Amino acid sequence: MVKQVAAMLEHLDASDPLLRPQLFDDAIGTLAARDDVGLRLVPDQEIEASGCSVAGGYLTDGTPPLLVISESASRGRRAFTALHEYGHHLQQSVYSLMEGLVQQPDGGVTLEDAACDSFASAILLPKELVALHIPDEGPSAASVLSLWRAAPQVSRAAVCVRAALTLQTPGHVTLLDESGTVVFSSSRELPPLRRGSDQSRVSIVKAALRAPGRTVEGEAEFLYRDGIRGQELYAQAADLGGMTVVVSVSERAAWRKLSLPRKDSSPKGVFRICEHAACGYEFRTFDPPCGQCGVPLCPECGQCNCSFRLRERACPSCYLMQPIHLFDSATGPCRDCA
């Protein structure tokens, strides 16, 4: 991701050396005045769910493409969203940037959105400012708070993304609301935390919510989908203007004198035992369960539990779904109708 963001910034500077400082001063006004994109502030309900980490969208069905931004967001949040969406425009219109995406296993979907976040935060929070508040050891919740206070015009999400870029070890910088739900999260070398996921049961989050206004330390096992729980991480949380920021890392935490590497900093999948008698393989998986039987595929035999389901077919006479053993022929009616 760092390489992709660097390429985006290099393209920006090469195409117009004055554009980056103009975007820093007034992202909305600068982008609204450009010819290569349009910009419109719209009500929240007009923004369709796009999978983006921001309340906005990039629409390519018109000429020029349109950046749509939630009008209800704060000034800082609107600037971050506008730059995020402009990042989509660059990556979908500049050939050299498109190349970086198509080389990814998923076609660049994950990289593109993460790069947009980092691109926006790099514009709004120059590295010189970041270096004044976040030390070489990496961020803590306290240093994220310090950076945010130094740049009050910048959204909390932008500060979190910029802080995550300074992580020296695998971890997350996560912003949560008053209920412990993820508002924004940026990660390094760990599966990202989903926006809208409930983390209120995580120990560091519970401690922070019980002590608003204080900086607290502890450990975090973040929750993923289907009951998947992440490995324990060192964590520090602080109040960020009514929300909670949690910085969590696998080792070398900036706020601790000693934080040795965890044995495994990756999330653990749900534990399963294959129910096929000829297999019985024990495994963990992140894969979603089968839509029919609710059991994920076994990586050893490649089967879910659909083979255990009662086989049925529709009777051509009564039109009811009947067990297969109630038919005497492959095409004839069931025994009730025969």
Tell me what the mean pLDDT of segment 231-247 comes to. Answer: 93
Question: Does 275 lie in the same domain as 260?
Answer: no
Q: What pLDDT does 265 receive?
A: 46
Last residue of a domain, one of 242, 267, 292: 267
Residues 165 and 188 in one domain: yes
Q: Per the structure, how many domains does the chain have?
A: 4
Over residues 148-167, the mean pLDDT reads: 87
**Residue 309: both structure tokens together:** 């389901």
pLDDT band at 1 (very low <50, low <70, confident <90, very high): confident
57 and 118 share one domain: yes
Q: Are residues 183 and 282 in the same domain?
A: no
Strands (E), the chain: 38-42, 56-59, 66-70, 171-176, 182-188, 216-220, 233-240, 243-249, 270-273, 282-285, 312-314, 321-323
pLDDT at 270: 61
- 324 vs 124 pLDDT, higher one: 124
> Domain range holding 156?
126-267
Q: What is the mean pLDDT of residues 41-67?
A: 74
Question: Does residue 64 share a domain with residue 172?
Answer: no
Residues 261 and 331 in one domain: no
DSSP string, 165-203: TT-SSSEEEEEE-TTSBEEEEEEESSPPPPTT-B-TTSH
Whether residues 166 and 135 fall in one domain = yes
The CA distance from 82 to 41, in Å, is: 10
Residues 274 and 217 both lie in one domain: no
Q: Which of 215, 238, 267 is the last residue of a domain?
A: 267
Instruction: Tell whether 323 and 299 lie within a shared domain.
Output: no
CATH number at residue 53: 1.10.10.2910
DSSP letter at 246 equals E
- Residues 250 and 187: beta-carbon distance below 8 Å: no
Q: What is the mean pLDDT of residues 172-176?
A: 95
Task: Kindly state whether residues 104 and 22 are assigned to the same domain.
Answer: yes
